[in-house]
Amino acid sequence: MATRAASRKSVPAPPKSAAETRRILKQLGTQHPNADTELHFSNAYELLVATILSAQCTDERVNQVTPALFRRYPDAHALARATTGELEPQIQSTGFFRAKSRSLLGMATEVVETHGGEVPRTMEGLVALPGVGRKTANVVLGHALGVPGLPVDRHVLRVANRIGIAKSDDPEVVEEQLCAAMPAAAWTRTSDTLILHGRRVCKPRPLCDRCVIRADCEFYAHLTRAQSTRPPRSIARPARPAKPRGRA
């Protein structure tokens, strides 16, 4: 974990202890065995490009776009020579294609000019690239470069807070809380597991009946308490038929 998160002065403690967090993640692993990124890639450059494209887009859609993109631009040198006019039509279906085009070209140019065409292997080097934030950097570090990293996206943020293994709406705080509880070798798998759980089970409208750790989940406990204390609905009595009026 990079020093920017580690240097934070005060991080709130989540409701669950480190031991509980490790046990919960182990149990979640049985529901999502072999959790991994769903983006297709063969090297760090390809994963960096795919992750930039995945912003506000499904991995499935990105995987439909990248094969042709990687054939045309197989490395940072080739991508840096492209223009936005050439790139935008190829990535349009991923959404926000103008901003993504600028990010990709800026990233590739910086990789070529500053790093000799090689994707940097540190958090500091990655987040200095145009269009690359901490989450994207952790994805590349953990999945392509063998450097422990725990990406926190919207799924990780939602699921970790609901379960109680994190307590913050700040992704960097949640990253630090999870990294403190889990061994470094498990950071990337922890993120992948929580992401899959958020996509498949713990959705914005959660499918709690399908969740293997609902007995340990703070959100589920709150939900069941609320349901048990809710007063029963009063049953409306049918209206009595009106009495017939007498003849005039």
pLDDT digits 0-9 by tens, 48-87: 999 999 999 999 999 999 999 999 999 999 999 999 999 9
C-beta atoms surrounding 40 within 10 Å? 15
The pTM of this model reads 0.87
Contact 166, 74 (CB under 8 A): no
Query: To 10 degrees, what angle do helices 171-181 and 154-163 make?
Result: 60
> Which residue type does 90 have?
Q
> Which one is catalytic: 153, 167, 209, 243?
153
Give the C-alpha separation, 89 to 27, whole Å.
44
Give the C-alpha separation, 57 to 60, whole Å.
8
**Tens-digit pLDDT profile for residues 141-184:** 999 999 999 999 999 999 999 999 999 999 999 999 999 999 99
Concerning whether 153 is annotated as a catalytic residue, the answer is yes
Which one-letter DSSP state was computed for residue 12? Answer: P
58: nearest Cα among 35, 34, 31, 40:
40
Among all chains, which residue has been given the structure tokens 């922890």? 190
> Which one is catalytic: 16, 100, 135, 216?
135
Concerning whether 203 is annotated as a catalytic residue, the answer is no
Contact 214, 201 (CB under 8 A): no
